[in-house]
């Protein structure tokens, strides 16, 4: 298993309304999107609020089905949501959200939650699970903290616990939806470093969704820019920053300070 996720011609339409005086309305959250996540690659998805990033992320993670289009991991189409095959598949593609305190169960220790995730996927016996749980916690920078409850952890530590619970299943791909957006800037950097370390160690691929281009640039190999459900531009991260092709990308970039003097000069040349 290598971890290539292919989304082909994905459309997602949400229908709502239909009251007495209102006609049915529909929103095309994702509109004919094609993207491929290469094994071990970080693909950043950026775009303004409502552009369809989270919808696309949920479809890539297999927790929501597209209205039309095709999704596969390593050449195998995603199984029907809720089926036994689908439950098995979920191990390979994990998802991490913005708010770790909501993702964790306040009544269980974080160690027990990591153990439960392993048990749900039939991984090892009780002894093996405990050893693995401790190993994972050490790896994410929470050594010996398995006995803690989420309210006894900081926001950054909670997100580390969420990452440990996802990674203990040895996924090939992790979809991170605004995974650092709720954290302080210094903590954001620590979590990004952790995600990069884990990627180098295990060859995990990330679909890294954020409205914050400044964050995305520090983690992404490639970036896809989304606007109103459509991918308007994709490219190597450095290339997008140095030479954005689309007006919408330029407007997003304008809000982010240049990272290097060379980049600043390149931008000034474009404006001139």
Ligand X SMILES: Nc1ncnc2c1ncn2[C@@H]1O[C@H](COP(=O)(O)OP(=O)(O)OP(=O)(O)O)[C@@H](O)[C@H]1O
If one asks whether residue 60 binds ligand X (CB under 6 A), the answer comes out as no
CB closer to ligand X, 230 vs 258: 230
Q: Which of the residues 188 through 227 are near ligand X (CB under 6 A)?
A: 211
Whole-angstrom distance, CA of residue 96 vs CA of residue 187: 16
Give the residue, chosen from 52, 62, 146, 156, that forms a contact with ligand X under the rule CB under 6 A: 52
If one asks whether residue 29 binds ligand X (CB under 6 A), the answer comes out as yes
Whole-angstrom distance, CA of residue 201 vs CA of residue 191: 15
Sequence-separated (6 or more) residues with CB below 8 Å from residue 235: 222, 223, 245
> In this structure, what is the dihedral angle of CA atoms 204, 209, 212, 216, given to the nearest 10 degrees?
30
Give the residue, chosen from 18, 20, 22, 49, that forms a contact with ligand X under the rule CB under 6 A: 49
Contact range with ligand X by CB under 6 A, out of 44-52, 110-118, 184-192, 230-238 = 44-52
If one asks whether residue 55 binds ligand X (CB under 6 A), the answer comes out as yes
Please, what is the minimum distance in Å from the beta carbon of residue 162 to ligand X? Answer: 18
* Other C-beta atoms lying within 10 Å of the C-beta of residue 241: 22
Give the residue, chosen from 42, 51, 54, 109, that forms a contact with Mg ion under the rule CB under 5 A: 54
Contact range with Mg ion by CB under 5 A, out of 53-61, 76-84, 100-108, 225-233 = 53-61
If one asks whether residue 13 binds ligand X (CB under 6 A), the answer comes out as no
Please, what is the minimum distance in Å from the beta carbon of residue 246 to ligand X? Answer: 17
If one asks whether residue 158 binds Mg ion (CB under 5 A), the answer comes out as no
Give the residue, chosen from 1, 2, 9, 16, that forms a contact with ligand X under the rule CB under 6 A: 16
Please, what is the minimum distance in Å from the beta carbon of residue 30 to Mg ion? Answer: 12
Q: At what angle do helices 126-139 and 110-120 cross, to 10 degrees?
A: 120
If one asks whether residue 152 binds ligand X (CB under 6 A), the answer comes out as no
If one asks whether residue 51 binds ligand X (CB under 6 A), the answer comes out as yes
Contacts 24+ apart (CB under 8 A), 46-49: 46/209, 46/210, 46/211, 46/212, 46/213, 46/216, 46/223, 46/224, 46/225, 46/226, 46/252, 47/211, 47/225, 47/226, 47/227, 47/252, 48/211, 48/227, 48/252, 49/211
Please give the distance of CA 221 from its chain centroid, rounded to a whole number: 14
Query: How many residues are recorded in the chain?
Result: 272
Please, what is the minimum distance in Å from the beta carbon of residue 248 to Mg ion? Answer: 17
Contact footprint for ligand X (CB under 6 A):
14, 16, 27, 29, 47, 49-55, 211
Contact footprint for Mg ion (CB under 5 A):
54
């Amino acid at each position: 298993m290598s971890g290539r996720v292919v989304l082909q011609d994905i459309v997602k339409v949400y229908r709502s309304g239909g009251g007495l005086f209102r006609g049915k309305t529909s929103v095309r959250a994702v509109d004919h999107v094609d993207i491929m996540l290469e094994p071990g690659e970080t693909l950043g998805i950026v775009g303004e609020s409502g552009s369809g990033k989270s919808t696309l992320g949920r479809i890539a993670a297999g927790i929501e089905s597209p209205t039309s289009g095709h999704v596969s991991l390593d050449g195998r189409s995603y199984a029907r949501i809720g089926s036994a095959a689908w439950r098995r598949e979920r191990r390979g593609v994990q998802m991490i959200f913005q708010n770790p305190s909501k993702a964790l169960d306040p009544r269980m220790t974080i160690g027990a939650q990591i153990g439960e995730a392993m048990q749900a996927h039939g991984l090892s016996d009780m002894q093996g699970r405990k050893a693995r749980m401790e190993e994972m916690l050490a790896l994410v920078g929470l050594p010996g903290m398995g006995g803690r409850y989420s309210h006894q952890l900081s926001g950054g530590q909670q997100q580390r616990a969420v990452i440990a619970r996802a990674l203990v299943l040895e996924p090939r791909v992790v979809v991170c939806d605004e995974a650092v957006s709720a954290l302080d800037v210094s903590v954001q950097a620590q979590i990004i470093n952790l995600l990069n370390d884990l990627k180098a160690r295990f060859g995990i691929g990330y679909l890294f969704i954020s409205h914050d281009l400044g964050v995305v640039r520090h983690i992404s190999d490639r970036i896809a820019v989304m606007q109103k459900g459509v991918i308007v531009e994709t490219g190597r991260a450095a290339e997008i920053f140095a030479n954005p092709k689309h007006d919408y990308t330029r407007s997003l970039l304008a809000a982010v300070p240049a990272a290097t003097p060379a980049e600043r000069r390149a931008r000034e040349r474009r404006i001139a």
